[in-house]
Amino acid sequence: MLLRQLTALPAVVEVRRGRTGVGAFTDYQSVERLDIWTSDMSVSQALSGLPNVPVWYEDAERRKALASDIGADVAIIGAGYTGLWTAYYLLKAEPTLRVVVIEREHAGYGASGRNGGWASAIFPLSLQHVAKSSSHAAALALQAAMNDTVDEIGRVLRDEGIDANYAKQGFLSLARSSAQLSRARTAVRASETFGLPHQWRLLDAQEASAMVAAEGGVGGLYTEHCAVIHPGRLVRGLARTIEALGGRIYEKTSVTDFRRGSVITSGGTVRARVIVRATEGFTTQFRKYRRALIPLYSLVLATEPLPRHLRIKLKLDHRIAFNDMRHLRTYAQVTADGRLVFGGRGAPYHFGSKVCSEYDIGDAVHEKIRATMTEFFPALNGVRVTHRWGGALGVPRDWHPSVGLDRASGVAWAGQYVGDGVATSNLAGRILRNLILERDDDINRLPIVNHWSPQWEPEPFRWLGVNLGLYAAAIGDAEERLAKRPSRVAHVLELLTGAH
């Protein structure tokens, strides 16, 4: 249908270090001291001076580290969405279970606290590709499950009293050129032919501009199956709920290895019947999973709260998730307090699948994201950007998310969401509950269950291939601007990856 999963903006092979806050969460107090925005400082200089702090961050309670050997029924590695949703659903189903979550930093440190806040029904791989590897009926069931998952998140938040600023108002992908509009029409026809006539709605220029008044809008695609959230509030609310249900979360505890029945950590060994690997972009830090996926960085900005009159003028007085149909992915939402959050994947892939907090920010890439934001909305020139941050997401070789349980080893897993994990992690958590507790459910037969992706190529081929792919997506956008028709380069890239 539409979203390219490589990056958001032209890739930059060399990423310059930010001047402050290059270590993850090194100076939170500076978030409250935005005096770097002085009248004699350019926008670019001010942007490069911002620390690496998500707008979603809160100096919340921190939990103790593991300090001894313990036993559990289920040990979960990683306190992001996947780990927390799994713990939540296990404890709701079996309150007597001993569920332990182990986290190297703090709950929501990784992508779960650093994303753009879309809980969408988008699956990173096209349904046509899913159908080829499973069946047409299975692909339809997967999309139906994804649609329901958006609502399921809202139900849980309501039932548990978690205020995560959940708002289900849908997702708009703007067409801002004739080539993009042509692809929008093709996407709607393909969805209807596949058997999903109501998944997407084609908008004309007037309809699209009435929803978001971005520069150059000529139409768009809209789906109701998307909500926006406050990622930090979601992850913190889930963590507190899990503890109230009897689960235990240990922070500042590094997992050095895991094998059948044992999770070895910096503070002791956790003996457990089932181990869940919920490490997403950090998976490659375990040697045996070095080529299982690649970590790609997504970088984000947030503005100061926009005046209401400006939001009304730009049609940003809503909580609709939106982007445009460029091949290099962007994403945006307006927060409950009126900030514009605008992100993209303009950072390069780093040799050897390296994950490092210094990669969370990059002056050149963040500046490109800011420039794209003001290209959408020229009226935002001069509006203060108050936060910038980034984080690693996990991409498998075939772009196919996976969840499963190997009963022989007692190790379960879920992840490799290609950046669409806010909702998919909830679905994965429910599937893991079923597999671990041996509960029969239709979602256990979805094509993501026990899917095995091929390994990525060894270096340097992996580095060359991924970064060339990033440039190919950028070239596709340039081709469409010049030729005024859908890009042939991007079409070939889509055929090779299956991404959409």
Query: What domain count does the chain have?
Result: 2
Q: Which residue's entry shows tokens 């979603």? A: 56
Q: With CA atoms as reference, report the closest residue to 355 among 463, 265, 282.
A: 282
Judge if 97 and 141 occupy the same domain.
yes
The one-letter code for the residue type at 343 is: G
Judge if 211 and 271 occupy the same domain.
no
Q: With CA atoms as reference, report the closest residue to 254 among 240, 269, 266.
A: 266
Rounded Cα–Cα distance for residues 365 and 373 (Å): 12
- The residue from 425, 445, 465 where one domain ends is 445
Judge if 255 and 314 occupy the same domain.
no
Judge if 245 and 382 occupy the same domain.
no
Within a domain: 324: yes
Judge if 383 and 240 occupy the same domain.
no
Print burial letters for 231-268: b (CB count within 10 Å at least 16), e (below 16): bbbbbbbbbbbbbebebbbbbebebeebeebbbebebb
Within a domain: 59: no
Within a domain: 208: yes
Judge if 476 and 347 occupy the same domain.
yes
Within a domain: 384: yes
Within a domain: 390: yes
Q: Would you report the helix, strand and coil content of the chain in percent, each value rounded to 5?
A: 40, 20, 40
174: β partners: 220, 324
Within a domain: 421: yes
Q: With CA atoms as reference, report the closest residue to 43 among 340, 339, 363, 338.
A: 363
CATH number of the domain encompassing residue 159: 3.50.50.60
Judge if 255 and 366 occupy the same domain.
no
Judge if 161 and 29 occupy the same domain.
no
| Structural domain of 351 | 1-53+171-223+294-395+457-500
Judge if 471 and 380 occupy the same domain.
yes
Is residue 455 classed exposed, middle or buried when 0-12, 13-18 and 19+ CB atoms within 10 A define those classes? middle
Please say whether the beta carbons of 164 and 233 come within 8 A: yes
pTM for the whole structure: 0.89
Judge if 162 and 82 occupy the same domain.
yes
Judge if 382 and 403 occupy the same domain.
no
Judge if 308 and 201 occupy the same domain.
yes
CATH number of the domain encompassing residue 16: 3.30.9.10
Q: What is the pLDDT along the chain (500 residues), one digit of tens a residue?
A: 333 333 333 333 222 223 222 233 333 333 333 333 333 346 667 888 999 999 999 988 799 999 999 999 999 999 999 999 999 999 999 999 999 999 999 999 999 999 999 999 999 999 999 999 999 999 999 999 999 999 999 999 999 999 999 999 999 999 999 999 999 999 999 999 999 999 999 999 999 999 999 999 999 999 999 999 999 999 999 999 999 999 999 999 999 999 999 999 999 999 999 999 999 999 999 999 999 999 999 999 999 999 999 999 999 999 999 999 987 789 999 999 999 999 997 678 999 999 998 899 889 999 999 999 999 999 999 999 999 999 999 999 999 999 999 999 999 999 999 999 999 999 999 999 999 999 999 999 999 999 999 999 999 999 888 878 776 666 766 566 666 666 554 555 454 454 55
Within a domain: 452: no
Pairing, β 262-265 against β 255-259? antiparallel
